[in-house]
């Protein structure tokens, strides 16, 4: 991989199947060959509504979106809108959200899933928390002005691009990141019940089995429980 386009969407809701639309797109290209992060780009998208509860997050109004074209996947790869002509992959923090709104023609990297594996002991794996933690660790130094305002597509993509570069700096390859992105989240600790916050190795076998039997249990949690059961069966 040479160039990876980091993307971030601001939207009118959480589920496109329920009518949620992309109201702002942010992109930020990471050039692995040069080791550089380009300045972020962003543009508004036309939408039909702007619920107040989501406007309270990103502060984008319906008037801000007036006169803009609705979101189009092609715009993500349009040379006129972005820093680079060609990209080898796209990345996003919690890419499962962005990919609800488009089908990527190139491989996808989820920096959230990768960060869970590489930095399991980070205080938080949110985009903003990782940014400040990595700054404190001396691993990234983004231009603060380009990280503002928070919860807007361009600045958030810029922050994620720095997280992605820090992940590459650990020696990981793009191929490894793409593979991990296709798997469920590998959670460092159990996030539920009486074992909340404890390593999976300390969770009772009975509780792990109970998790697998719950029909409404989140698929990622079941996967983590099953993974721990298999590890123990192998003598791990």
Nearest-5° Cα angle at 90, 178 to 28? 135
How confident is the model over 177-183, as a mean pLDDT?
A: 98
pLDDT band at 83 (very low <50, low <70, confident <90, very high): confident
CA distances from 25 to 3, 43, 72, 193 (A): 18, 6, 10, 37
pLDDT the model gives residue 236: 66
pLDDT in tens, 17-37: 999 999 999 999 999 999 999
Domains and CATH numbers, the chain: 3-181 (3.30.420.10), 193-233 (no CATH)
- On whether the CB atoms of residues 108 and 96 are closer than 8 A, the answer is no
Cα–Cα separations (whole angstroms), residue 49 to 16, 55, 100, 232? 13, 10, 19, 51
- The average confidence (pLDDT) of the chain is 97
User: Other C-beta atoms within 10 Å of 14: how many?
Assistant: 10
Dihedral over Cα of 32, 99, 79, 130: its sign: negative
Spatial contact of 221 and 229, defined as CB atoms under 8 Å apart: no
Average pLDDT, integer, range 45-68 = 97
pLDDT at 68 over 80: yes
Which residue bears the tokens 């916050």? Answer: 197
Rounded to an integer, the average pLDDT of 150-173 is 98
pTM for the structure as a whole: 0.94
The CA distance from 89 to 103, in Å, is 12
């Amino acid at each position: 991989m040479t160039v990876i386009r980091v993307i971030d969407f601001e939207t009118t809701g959480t589920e496109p199947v329920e009518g949620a639309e992309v109201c702002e797109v942010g992109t930020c290209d990471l050039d692995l060959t040069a080791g550089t992060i380009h300045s972020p780009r962003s543009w508004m998208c036309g939408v039909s509504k702007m619920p107040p509860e989501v406007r309270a997050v990103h502060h984008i109004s319906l008037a801000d979106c007036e006169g803009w074209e609705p979101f189009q996947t092609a715009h993500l790869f349009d040379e006129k809108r972005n820093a680079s002509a060609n990209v080898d992959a796209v990345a996003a923090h919690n890419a499962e959200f962005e990919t609800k709104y488009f089908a990527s023609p190139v491989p996808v990297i989820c920096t959230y899933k990768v960060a869970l594996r590489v930095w399991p002991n980070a205080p938080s794996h949110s985009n903003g928390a990782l940014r400040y933690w990595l700054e404190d660790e001396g691993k990234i130094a983004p231009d603060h002005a380009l990280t503002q305002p928070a919860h807007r597509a361009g600045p958030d993509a810029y922050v994620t691009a720095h997280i992605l570069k820090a992940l590459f700096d650990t020696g990981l390859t793009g191929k490894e990141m793409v593979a991990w992105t296709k798997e469920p989240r590998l959670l460092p600790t159990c996030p539920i019940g009486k074992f909340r916050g404890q390593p999976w190795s300390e969770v009772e076998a009975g509780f792990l089995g109970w998790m697998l039997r719950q029909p409404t249990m989140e698929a990622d949690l079941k996967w983590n429980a099953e993974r721990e059961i298999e590890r123990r069966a192998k003598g791990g």
